[in-house]
Amino acid sequence: MATIKDVAALAGISYTTVSHVVNKSRPVSEPVRIKVEAAIKQLDYVPSAVARSLKAKTTATIGLLVPNSLNPYFAELARGIEDYCERNGYCVILCNSDDNAEKQRSYLRVLLEKRIDGLIVTSVGGDDSGLATGLKAVRTPMVIVDRALDGIDVDLVRIDHEQGAYLATWHLLELGHRDIACIGGPGHTRVAQMRLAGYYRALSEAGVEVAGGRVLESDFTSTGGYAAAAQLLADSPPSAIFAGNDMIGFGVLRAAAERNIRVPGELSVIGFDDIQMSRYVYPALTTVGQSILQLGEMAAELLLRRIATPQLPVDQRIVTPSIVLRESTAPLASVFTRYR
């Protein structure tokens, strides 16, 4: 691999002058600049990003830590972050922790060793993951997305999880449903806890009691949703199911289809997040959410602003979701019994 000294030798000038051309650190004459650029092209010279960052005291690089890159929610979120950063001259290093707390902590150390300019974090599950403890010592500008962490007072962007679940459940209540089951996420995660609270709040306000066995935990995956739905649909199915996220909702749709339970004719299903795939499953999934790409861009915008002006007050944005009405929910009056 060619070095800056190789470029200098080919151009017939000092490597200090080559450095000035590469880093734009001092004006040089046009003939010299042309010779340097020609030598760089001929040798296919790639400047050292490490050396340049040490001089500039910036790497123009953002670290992004996500818990599960297979979940379309985080993929869409990452795309929004990457798009905004690219437009503003920053690269993004994506680290996927696979919902593993130890891997998450390891990646955090790696990102900080890379001397990134800023960090965007979406955390693994519960508060016992140790991430909050590790982040308290971080002096790098940081934004938390999706899941707040106790004791970390930094910029935050997240959906109002409880209000979203409330809206989803209330939508089913307005359609006349009263036997409404809930398949939530892992109970140790704050997201699942807040969404379950919204479900209970809506039912409480409507004076509806939750029957035994109507609230189940699941992973935030289609596999988990499918397994939980199989239990709910085995005997005396509910008329509606609130799925803790869209991936769970997809599992519910599959379980219903295998049992010849028509959605929404015999079972209404509503999800949460509004990932792009929810438009294209059949029937298209009614859900609650906000543009995930815009959430990513909002997080990136907050981080770049924090990098530029560290002394700004903490900005925590709680985005109110809205119902996205599609094909998987219908009034209770349209339900036709399977036992006729």
**What is the CATH number for 118?**
3.40.50.2300
Q: Are residues 254 and 299 in the same domain?
A: no
Q: So what's the pLDDT on residue 250?
A: 98
242 vs 101, higher pLDDT = 242
Q: Are residues 92 and 81 in the same domain?
A: yes
227 vs 140, higher pLDDT = 227
Average pLDDT over the chain, rounded to an integer: 88
How large is the average pLDDT for residues 264-268?
96
Question: CA-to-CA distance for 122 and 100, rounded, in angstroms?
Answer: 12
Q: Are residues 236 and 206 in the same domain?
A: yes
Q: Are residues 329 and 188 in the same domain?
A: yes
Work out the end-to-end distance of the chain between its first and last CA atoms, rounded to an integer number of angstroms. 77
> Which of 56, 73, 93 lies at the terminal end of a domain, its last residue?
56
Element (H, E) at 17: helix 15-23
Q: Are residues 39 and 70 in the same domain?
A: no
Residue 335's alpha-carbon distances to 257, 270, 315, 338, in angstroms, are 16, 16, 46, 9
Q: So what's the pLDDT on residue 338?
A: 38
Q: Are residues 145 and 196 in the same domain?
A: no
Q: Are residues 130 and 170 in the same domain?
A: no
Question: CA-to-CA distance for 103 and 109, rounded, in angstroms?
Answer: 10
Domain of residue 113, residue span: 61-159+291-320
Q: So what's the pLDDT on residue 20?
A: 79
Q: Which of 66-75, 191-200, 286-295 has the lowest mean pLDDT?
A: 66-75
Q: Are residues 192 and 263 in the same domain?
A: yes
Tokens found for residue 23: 């880093």
Q: Report how many domains make up the chain.
A: 3
Q: Are residues 169 and 279 in the same domain?
A: yes
Residue 299 lies inside a defined structural domain of this protein: yes
Question: Is residue 55 over pLDDT 70?
Answer: no
Asked whether the whole model's pTM tops 0.85, one would answer no
Q: So what's the pLDDT on residue 337?
A: 43
SS (H, E, C) 274-289: CCHHHHCCCCCCEEEE
